[in-house]
A = this chain, B = another copy of it.
Amino acid sequence: MKLCEIINVGTELLLGEILNRDAQILCDRLAGLGISVRRALTVGDNPGRLREDFLLALGRSDIVILTGGLGPTADDLTKETVAEALGLPLVEDAAQMAKIEAFFRRRGIPPGESNRKQALVPAGCTVLYNENGTAPGCFIRHGEKAVALLPGPPRELSPMLENSLLPLLAPFGSGVIVSHYVRTVRLGESRMAEMAAPLLDMENPTVAPYAKEGEAYLRVSAHGETREAAEALCAPVIKKLREILGDWVYAVDKDLAQTVLDLLAEQGKTLALAESCTGGGIAARLTDIPGASKAFTCAFVTYSNEAKISMLGVSRDTLAKRGAVSAETAREMALGARERSGADIAVSVTGIAGPGAEGTDKPAGLIYLAATDGARIIGEKMETGRADRGYNRVAAAKTALALVRDLLSQPRKLTVNPK
């Protein structure tokens, strides 16, 4: 298996000003090619140390990928440092210069010297043109080894990696690693891991449990000569996990919001939301997905009691007697949202997000939800026991989507409890 090292260049990374997303993006995609990343190093904008670390990495690995430091300003020195270390002169790339000139022509000003510098590339390299920024990347063959330079911003790096660099690196790959995610909701990581225990000690594919944002999932990862071979190793294990975990599994790979949108679209149904403590978070999660408008119609984000009354028709009496955070209020919110929106299904959330008790005597993490499709209404109470506002809001959003999935996927099994 070919070995790779990653070097992310940028003083802002070492000052903690920016989260390093590039390393994860690269590691993930290289693993998919069957290239093993041995080290991922972050260094500052210091040519001396960069040169030293680059040569060390090149000496012990087959591939070195550097990110960042390709911009036009004085502290952007990755290209210069690497070219010098490899003994390559920098030469002007005509196509890149034409792109720069066209860019400035549109703006009606001539390019400055620092902009022209961006057309210089190490002699003999393959230029990776940048469709989302002004700095080109490059791919350099160095004997049997390879060196690649990519821009730092993830939205420039990702498409360049996908479209230009990965095809060039494919010959370095050894077979293919394929990963799938068997995703559950409500189950919890430890219980999921106990249920899946007989499969957690395999070698190929490997099965590993993870938990994130109120969900638990199992990664099934196989290595094969071809994609087909790796997929063939995964398939029976995924099938077995589905059998073991049953209805806890809501999807393989697809996330919960997409799963719910797809179920709605398949059944030609629409969804409305009534959100209190999640404060628009469920709507934002659904509408992050292109095409959400096919099934998602509207959300009533009723943060105040008055809004619950006027926008959803929750009764003043219920709020006074039971409180805004109660099963009754959740129920009236869901019924009101469905009726007023005309949607087929409505789901509601009301709770104490935390960190404090928000003027009530109820604990942070106490959350009530309800969902209705007109014929049925189902409810759920959560007690996370946590004061973590971010966690509680995400966990509540996930449970709300799980309730919608229940209505859509279990046409008969639910307790029917119409008003």
- Chain A positions within 8 Å of B, measured between CB atoms, are 12-21, 23-31, 36-44, 49, 53, 155, 208, 210, 219, 221, 273, 275, 277-284, 286-288, 290, 292-293, 296-304, 306-307, 310-311, 340-342, 353-356, 358, 388-391, 393
Contacts and interface: CB of A to CB of B under 8 A. Distances in A.
A286 B293 contact: no
Number of copies: 2
A127 B42 CA distance: 28
Q: Shortest 10 CB-CB distances between A and B: which pairs? A: A279-B287, A16-B28, A280-B283, A16-B27, A280-B280, A298-B307, A299-B301, A280-B284, A40-B42, A297-B304
A283 B39 CA distance: 41
A216 B341 CA distance: 39
A279 B300 contact: no
Contacts of A18: 24
A5 to B, nearest CB: 10
B27 A310 contact: no
Contacts of A310: 340-342
A304 B13 CA distance: 42
Given A24-B16, A40-B14, A288-B389, A303 B307 contact: no
Contacts of A290: 353-356, 389
- Among A12, A275, A355, A391, the most chain B Cβ lie within 10 Å of the Cβ of A275
Nearest to A37: B14
